[in-house]
């Protein structure tokens, strides 16, 4: 897929390209380094001086096919697709993109094998990836098919116009629906996890949490989370500081009898379509392991009621109103 711009600006190529794509100068430089940009048909360096009047072409190269004789078979459900973007329901235990330590197929491998032509702003190994989910976390993830869409969605992610409502099964109910905020950084005694640090020593983070349903025996609870910021392990870290732990999340202190994957799912994804400006809310159905646990341990009528996306959004609306009225937002 190729985008062509008729440049009217003078200046360094990376700066002009960043402005044309509505992205950062660093991302523009990555595109130039990858050879995805030409000026009047010729690849140029980031520091090339433009005078105005040039034709700049940006080629979103098709993701490289996975080199394997066996087809990658993954349970990936398409929730929405058009010429600009793709929204998928990522199954649990699937890594989003490759890394030196990753040996199994990734979501990026699946996208490559399906032959999708995707944005290149995130780099060679992360074509199309606007945001990510942890390996054990399931649910909605949006993929950009071109660089303009990727830039627009990244801006929405920063402004929180794009976001998700998460479902988590925790070891006991929250004391009340609440907001939690703190600065976060790598935990000094365990670099695999994030922790709360003194103000100014990390990055600010903020989450909203609401109770949805207690289990029949009172030994777990279904809660929902909405993020005001998007930090690594934010929900898991915040719940630990609230004295709650997601089932299966032993890294953050869960000590119960459940021994499956971390029960965290990105259930609803909302965004404004970059091209049509339509507001979209997309639901990612729960996977069998989470559905089975809820079916065996919760009142089914209550679960059916709270899993309606209107109920979840309304619950956060009430919490927002309460926090605004109290001046704690």
Q: What residues act catalytically? A: 134
Query: Are the C-beta atoms of residues 40 and 54 closer than 8 Å to each other?
Result: yes
Query: Residue 179 has which token pair?
Result: 């907001």
Cα-flanking dihedrals φ and ψ of residue 178, to 5°? -155, 165
Residue linked to tokens 């089975």: 292
Query: Are the C-beta atoms of residues 31 and 121 closer than 8 Å to each other?
Result: yes
CA dist 93 and 90 (Å) reads: 9
Q: Which residues have CB under 8 Å from 154's CB, separation 6+? A: 23, 121, 130
Which 3 state secondary structure label does DSSP give 86?
strand
Query: Residue 70 has which token pair?
Result: 């066996």
CA dist 309 and 51 (Å) reads: 52
Quote the DSSP letter at residue 44: -
Q: Of 228, 185, 204, nearest to 329 (Cα)? A: 228
Q: Which residues have CB under 8 Å from 47's CB, separation 6+? A: 12, 13, 14
CA dist 43 and 50 (Å) reads: 13
């Amino acid at each position: 897929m190729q985008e062509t711009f008729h440049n009217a600006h003078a200046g360094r190529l990376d700066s002009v390209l960043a402005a044309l794509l509505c992205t950062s100068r660093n991302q523009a430089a990555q595109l130039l380094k990858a050879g995805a940009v030409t000026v009047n048909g010729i690849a140029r360096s980031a520091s090339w001086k433009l005078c105005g009047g040039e034709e700049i072409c940006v080629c979103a190269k098709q993701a490289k096919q996975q080199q394997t004789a066996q087809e990658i078979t993954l349970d990936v459900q398409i929730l929405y697709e058009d010429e600009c973007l793709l929204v998928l329901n990522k199954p649990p235990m699937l890594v989003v993109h490759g890394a030196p330590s990753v040996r199994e197929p990734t979501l990026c491998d699946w996208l490559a094998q399906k032959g999708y032509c995707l944005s290149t702003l995130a780099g060679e190994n992360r074509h199309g990836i606007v945001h990510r989910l942890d390996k054990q976390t399931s649910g909605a993830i949006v993929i950009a098919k071109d660089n303009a869409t990727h830039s627009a969605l990244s801006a929405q992610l920063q402004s929180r116009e794009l976001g998700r409502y998460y479902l988590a099964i925790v070891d006991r109910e929250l004391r009340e629906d609440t907001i939690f905020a703190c600065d976060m950084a790598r935990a000094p005694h365990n670099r695999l996890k994030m922790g709360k640090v003194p103000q100014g020593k990390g990055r600010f983070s903020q989450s909203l949490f609401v109770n949805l349903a207690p289990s029949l025996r009172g030994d777990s609870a279904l809660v929902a989370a909405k993020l005001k910021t998007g930090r690594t392990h934010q929900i898991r870290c915040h719940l630990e500081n609230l004295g709650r732990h997601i089932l299966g999340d032993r890294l953050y202190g869960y000590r119960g009898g459940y021994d499956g994957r971390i029960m965290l799912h990105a259930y609803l994804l909302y965004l404004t379509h970059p091209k049509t400006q339509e507001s979209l809310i997309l639901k990612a159905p729960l996977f069998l392991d989470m559905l089975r646990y809820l079916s065996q341990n919760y009142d089914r009528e209550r679960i059916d009621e709270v899993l309606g996306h209107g109920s979840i959004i309304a619950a956060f609306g009430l919490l927002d109103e309460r926090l605004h009225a109290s001046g704690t937002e």
